[in-house]
């Protein structure tokens, strides 16, 4: 897929991804934008406003988190599909989160910031493709079940502060995925679904890099402002994240990503 010639800047290309409704088209557009940046076809220019909300397909139906149906025990095909569908929705929204981060805040950072988050966005698109393909192998597809609409709230809450966005999205939400994915992998292994377990292990390896990108650029920005990274992280999490941070934590994976206990231990509930 090639990009329209009118999309010649990073900002315009990122806004185009967010305004693409169809999941398959969003996936292909995200890949094309990341490739266009890598090949030098997009100027490091941020001349397009990011939408308050991305365009969304008609399906899945989006529900408040407390209205989502229970998934049940993972031993059944129905429960495995529900779990994979929930993960696919997370990755679908993560595509928009990555490119919104670039388009909204990239001008505040050197081009290396765009380099890194373009790779993250391409990863999220690949993760979504893997999960949707697995759903289809199991007789379902993305959009077949409802999904919760809470993920984009973090983007709205942090739309005007790059440091808050980095603190909440990669350093809280994606870090939480590092905590819970090993147990999810074990559940799939326990019912003999090695295909799904192997896929989730691959995704988790990438997510460590994504959290690392968050901690790296958070440290870069706080140093520039003369702020203590761990202390400022705690201030921002208290201000912008509802619910608090709940153990257990995957300290090993978090440490690999540069997110050490001094950041999150004081916030544990």
Mean pLDDT score, 147-155: 88
Q: Inform me whether the pLDDT recorded for 249 exceeds 80.
A: yes
| pLDDT, position 72 | 65
Cα distances from 208 to residues 108, 130, 168, 242, in angstroms, run 24, 18, 15, 23
| pLDDT, position 69 | 79
Lowest mean pLDDT among 144-153, 164-173, 228-237, 253-262: 144-153
- Indicate the pLDDT class of residue 79, thresholds 50, 70 and 90: very high
| pLDDT, position 50 | 97
Q: Inform me whether the pLDDT recorded for 241 exceeds 90.
A: yes
By CB atoms closer than 10 A (0-12, 13-18, 19+), residue 155 is buried
Mean pLDDT score, 137-153: 93
Q: Inform me whether the pLDDT recorded for 4 exceeds 90.
A: no
248 conformational bin, left if phi > 0, alpha if psi -120 to 50, beta if neither:
beta
| pLDDT, position 65 | 79
Neighbours of 45 (CB within 10 A): 13
| pLDDT, position 68 | 81
| pLDDT, position 103 | 98
| pLDDT, position 84 | 97
Cα separation, 11 vs 19, whole angstroms: 12
Mean pLDDT score, 199-213: 98
Instruction: Give percent above pLDDT 70 in the chain.
Output: 98
Cα separation, 220 vs 261, whole angstroms: 19
Mean pLDDT of the chain: 95
Cα separation, 236 vs 163, whole angstroms: 8
pLDDT tens, position by position, 25-71: 999 999 999 999 999 999 999 999 999 999 999 999 998 878 887 77
Q: Inform me whether the pLDDT recorded for 178 exceeds 90.
A: yes
Q: Inform me whether the pLDDT recorded for 6 exceeds 90.
A: no
Instruction: Give percent above pLDDT 90 in the chain.
Output: 88
Lowest mean pLDDT among 71-80, 113-122, 210-219, 255-264: 71-80
Mean pLDDT score, 95-99: 98
Structure tokens given for 189: 């292994």
| pLDDT, position 7 | 87
Q: Inform me whether the pLDDT recorded for 213 exceeds 80.
A: yes
Q: Inform me whether the pLDDT recorded for 107 exceeds 80.
A: yes
pLDDT tens, position by position, 19-35: 999 999 999 999 999 99
């Amino acid at each position: 897929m090639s990009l329209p010639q009118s999309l010649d800047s990073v900002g315009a290309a990122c806004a185009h991804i967010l305004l693409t409704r169809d999941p398959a088209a969003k996936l292909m557009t995200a890949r094309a934008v990341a490739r266009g940046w890598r090949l030098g076809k997009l100027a490091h220019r941020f001349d397009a406003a990011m939408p308050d909300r991305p365009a969304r397909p008609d399906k899945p139906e989006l529900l408040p988190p407390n209205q989502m149906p229970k998934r049940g025990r993972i031993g059944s095909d129905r429960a495995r599909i529900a779990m994979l569908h929930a993960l696919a929705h997370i990755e679908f929204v993560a595509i928009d989160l990555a490119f919104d981060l670039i388009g909204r805040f990239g001008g505040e950072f050197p081009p290396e910031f765009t380099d890194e988050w373009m790779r993250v966005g391409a990863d999220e698109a690949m993760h979504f493709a893997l999960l949707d393909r697995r759903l289809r192998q199991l007789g379902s597809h993305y959009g077949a079940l409802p999904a919760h609409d809470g993920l984009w709230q973090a983007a709205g809450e942090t739309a005007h502060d790059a440091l808050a966005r980095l603190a909440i999205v990669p350093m809280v939400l994606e870090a939480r995925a590092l905590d819970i994915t090993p147990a999810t992998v074990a559940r799939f292994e326990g019912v003999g679904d090695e295909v799904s377990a192997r896929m989730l292990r691959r995704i988790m390896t990438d997510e460590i890099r994504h959290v690392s990108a968050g901690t790296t650029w958070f440290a870069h920005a706080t140093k520039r402002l003369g702020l203590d990274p761990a202390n400022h992280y705690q201030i921002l999490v208290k201000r912008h994240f509802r619910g608090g941070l709940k153990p257990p934590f995957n300290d090993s994976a978090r440490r690999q990503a540069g997110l050490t206990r001094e950041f999150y231990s004081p916030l544990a509930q």
